[in-house]
């Protein structure tokens, strides 16, 4: 079947396998010139999603040079940053270089933007070999080009925030918007305010999800964190009503910690951890009839589905769709209105 010459969802950029959408494709055509309906971006910085970066860091024993080589090879081979192990990508920022007249995105040459669609479907070519990156952080300063299709989303970079901070917020902005939607839905359906437990609560998506829960009118917010250091950080930030320490990959420990803190399971559990193996703890920690939001890209569908069945757990499980209308503005507003969130993000960026 010949490739379409123009497709709003980027079918014309798929090189292999034939018939796949760009996200599922193995390889994309990342030629840096605009075709009909497209926008060409001069890339300045990538943000690898946390699960992808952690996997690369672990697989290469934390050796920055090897991690850099691995990422450069993935991009060169696939024409996009699509981690073959985690299946996840990230986001990028850059400057619009060219816009085809048929593009509906409302962007102009010179606009500084963040893409709000995953790197796993964004044609990407790197020109500097990632030479300015030490391989030891999720964010990658670089030079190259990327392409947006007609059916894509992008946000202009805010002028009041540093680029690195805005990029980190945009990367996880789906989490607070979805959490807020689920909290509001619970209130509308039951007439009561829900309890919300957030696993990985001291991380980027975790701290924003805590803030969104409170903003949405949760009865109690419970932060589940890895260790005493993260607990102290969150305590200082005052983002959660309760804080408990548990290894999110230990199902019994997580469930016990949540039941001890809330007196029962959580109405809503949001999984924001960046390691695999958190499905069963989240399910056990959730009250019957409650909802688990799996925002983590390290989530296994079989582990969640079969785990819930095996535990006879009547919980709704939601895949954390990275897109909810208004998600970018909502996340930025949470960050702007609560200085503690900004402090937590800045601390993570500085630690990278
Ligand atoms: P992050 O800032 O690195 O936060 C992850 C948190 O989980 C950290 O505080 C980490 O602690 C903690 N953690 C790790 N292992 C743990 C364990 N065994 N027990 C308890 N806590 C543990 O990550 P993020 O950027 O918020 O991303 C979180 C997840 O969302 C990732 O899987 C990412 O890929 C995913 N994501 C999803 C979407 C989507 O569209 N659904 C978009 C972007 C990202 P330490 O720092 O001490 O390790």
Angle at 287 between CA 314 and CA 185, to 5 degrees: 85
pTM for this prediction: 0.95
Is residue 173 a contact partner of residue 128, using CB atoms and an 8 Å limit? Answer: no
CA distances from 96 to 147, 154, 281 (A): 10, 11, 44
**CATH homologous superfamily for 173-350?**
Medium-chain alcohol dehydrogenases, catalytic domain (3.90.180.10)
CA distances from 332 to 163, 176, 266 (A): 13, 10, 27
* Dihedral class, residue 335 (left if φ above 0, else alpha if ψ from -120 to 50, else beta): alpha
> What's the rounded Cα separation, in Å, for the pair 237 and 223?
12
> What's the rounded Cα separation, in Å, for the pair 295 and 77?
28
140 CB neighbour count, 10 Å cutoff: 25
pLDDT at 57: 98
Is residue 352 a contact partner of residue 137, using CB atoms and an 8 Å limit? Answer: yes
Is the shortest distance between the CB of 202 and ligand 1 below 6 Å? yes
Can you name the residues that pair with 271 across neighbouring β-strands? Answer: 199, 294
> What's the rounded Cα separation, in Å, for the pair 352 and 67?
14
* Dihedral class, residue 217 (left if φ above 0, else alpha if ψ from -120 to 50, else beta): left
Burial class (CB in 10 A: 0-12, 13-18, 19+), 70: middle
Encoded tokens for 245: 């320490």
Encoded tokens for 248: 């999110």
Query: What number of residues does the chain have?
Result: 352
Is the shortest distance between the CB of 206 and ligand 1 below 6 Å? yes
Would you give per-residue pLDDT tens digits along the chain (352 residues)? 566 668 999 999 999 999 999 999 999 999 999 999 999 999 999 999 999 999 999 999 999 999 999 999 999 999 999 999 999 999 999 999 999 999 999 999 999 999 999 999 999 999 999 999 999 999 999 999 999 999 999 999 999 999 999 999 999 999 999 999 999 999 999 999 999 999 999 999 999 999 999 999 999 999 999 999 999 999 999 999 999 999 999 999 999 999 999 999 999 999 999 999 999 999 999 999 999 999 999 999 999 999 999 999 999 999 999 999 999 999 999 999 999 999 999 999 998 7
> What's the rounded Cα separation, in Å, for the pair 130 and 121?
20
Instruction: Find all residues with CB under 8 Å of 326, minimum gap 6, and list them.
Output: 177
Is the shortest distance between the CB of 320 and ligand 1 below 6 Å? yes
Is residue 213 a contact partner of residue 183, using CB atoms and an 8 Å limit? Answer: yes
pLDDT at 5: 67
Atom of ligand 1 nearest to the CA of 88: 34
CA neighbor of 259 nearest in space, from 231, 288, 236, 239? 288
Is residue 243 a contact partner of residue 221, using CB atoms and an 8 Å limit? Answer: no
Q: How far is ligand 1, taken at its centre, from the CA of residue 119, in Å?
A: 18
Q: How far is ligand 1, taken at its centre, from the CA of residue 234, in Å?
A: 15
pLDDT at 352: 79
Q: Where are the domains of the chain?
A: 11-156, 173-350
> What's the rounded Cα separation, in Å, for the pair 39 and 33?
9
Q: Which residue among 205, 269, 327 is best mutated to probe the pocket of ligand 1, counting the most ligand atoms within 8 A of its Cβ?
A: 205
Helices (H), the chain: 50-59, 64-78, 163-171, 174-190, 204-215, 228-237, 251-262, 279-284, 301-310, 327-337, 339-351
CA neighbor of 231 nearest in space, from 246, 220, 218? 246
Q: Which residue among 118, 178, 209, 272 is best mutated to probe the pocket of ligand 1, counting the most ligand atoms within 8 A of its Cβ?
A: 272
Helix pair angle (327-337, 339-351), 10° resolution: 100
351 CB neighbour count, 10 Å cutoff: 7
Q: Which residue among 87, 171, 226 is best mutated to probe the pocket of ligand 1, counting the most ligand atoms within 8 A of its Cβ?
A: 226
Residue ID of nearest Cα to ligand 1 atom 27: 50
Q: How far is ligand 1, taken at its centre, from the CA of residue 140, in Å?
A: 18
CA distances from 24 to 27, 335, 351 (A): 9, 33, 33
Burial class (CB in 10 A: 0-12, 13-18, 19+), 100: middle
Nearest 10 degrees: CA dihedral of 103, 108, 111, 117? 0
């Amino acid at each position: 079947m010949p490739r379409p010459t123009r497709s709003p969802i980027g079918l014309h950029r798929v090189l292999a396998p034939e018939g796949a959408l760009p996200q599922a494709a193995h390889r994309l055509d990342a030629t840096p010139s605009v075709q009909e309906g497209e926008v060409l971006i001069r890339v300045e910085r990538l943000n690898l999603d946390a699960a992808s970066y952690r996997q690369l860091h672990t697989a290469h024993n934390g050796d920055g040079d090897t991690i850099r080589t691995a990422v450069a090879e993935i991009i060169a081979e696939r024409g996009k940053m699509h981690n073959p192990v985690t299946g996840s990508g990230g986001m990028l920022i850059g400057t619009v270089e060219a816009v085809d007249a048929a593009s509906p995105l409302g962007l102009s040459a010179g606009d500084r933007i963040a893409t709000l669609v995953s790197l796993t479907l964004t044609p990407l070519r790197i020109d500097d070999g990632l030479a300015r990156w030490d391989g030891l952080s999720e964010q990658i300063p670089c030079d190259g080009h990327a392409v947006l299709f007609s059916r894509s989303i992008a946000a202009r970079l805010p002028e009041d925030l540093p680029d690195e901070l805005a990029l980190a917020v945009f990367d996880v902005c789906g989490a607070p918007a979805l959490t807020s939607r689920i909290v509001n839905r619970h209130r509308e359906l039951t007439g009561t305010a829900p309890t919300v437990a957030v696993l990985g609560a001291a991380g980027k998506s975790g701290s924003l999800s805590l803030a969104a829960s409170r903003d949405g009118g949760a009865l109690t917010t419970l932060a589940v964190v890895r260790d005493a250091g993260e607990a102290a950080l969150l305590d200082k930030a005052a983002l959660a009503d309760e804080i408990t320490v548990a290894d999110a990959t230990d199902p019994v420990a997580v469930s016990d910690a949540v039941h001890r803190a809330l007196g029962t399971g959580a109405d809503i559990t949001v999984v924001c951890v960046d390691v695999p193996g958190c499905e069963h703890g989240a399910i056990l920690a959730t009250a019957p009839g409650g909802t688990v939001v799996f925002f983590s890209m390290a989530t296994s569908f079989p582990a969640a589905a079969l785990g819930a069945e095996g535990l006879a757990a009547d919980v709704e499980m939601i895949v954390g769709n990275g897109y909810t209308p208004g998600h970018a503005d909502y996340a930025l507003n949470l960050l702007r209105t609560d200085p503690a969130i900004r402090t937590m993000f800045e601390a993570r960026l500085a630690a990278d």
